[in-house]
Structures are given as C-alpha cells and as structure tokens.
Amino acid sequence: MKLAEDSSQSESADKSHFETLMAKLTTIKYDGSRTMHELVIEMSNLAARLRAMGMIVDESFLVQFKLTLYLLGMVHSKLIITQLKINGM
C-alpha cells in the first residue's frame, strides 16, 4: 500500500510541476526588465524541461511564440522611445 501512495504522490508532484512549466511558457511576456535574448533562452529552457517530462513541444509553436514576443518587444521599445521624445528627454 505504501508503494501505491508514493507513486500517487509522485504523479501528483509531476503533474503540478508540468502545470507550472506550461503556465510559465504560455504567459511569459516582454516587459523591458530583461533582454529579448534572455526571454528566448528562458522559453527554450522551459520547452526542454517539458520535453524531458515526455511532452511533445512543437518547434513551430515555439518559433511563432518567440516571433510574437519579439514583435511585442519592439512595440514596447518604440513606445518608450516615443514617450521619452514627448517628455523632452
């Protein structure tokens, strides 16, 4: 009985860890606090950890996600530059 309980607890912990990694991967955003390079590396690391847990992470999904992040980062940077110009800095 003890073995079944340990196995159940391990599966529960794995599921929780999987859900945490997925949440991080799908909610990651560019906010200017780090470079785009750092965000892309973090996304790649999260995907690698998910793959190690047996999940199939489609490369086209990651590429699309990274491109979207990059474009949002460019828009964010443009907004900051425009705001600085407006404020005379």
What are 18-73's pLDDT values in tens digits? 889 888 888 887 777 888 788 888 888 998 998 898 888 777 777 777 777 777 77
Residues contacting residue 73 through CB under 8 Å, at least 6 positions apart: 30, 32, 36, 39
Q: What is the pLDDT of residue 89?
A: 61
Write down the pTM of the prediction: 0.62
Return the closest-CA partner of residue 71 out of 79, 59, 61.
79
Segment among 5-9, 13-17, 70-74, 82-86 with least mean pLDDT = 5-9
State the Cα–Cα distance between residues 56 and 52, nearest whole angstrom. 9
3-state secondary structure of 31: coil
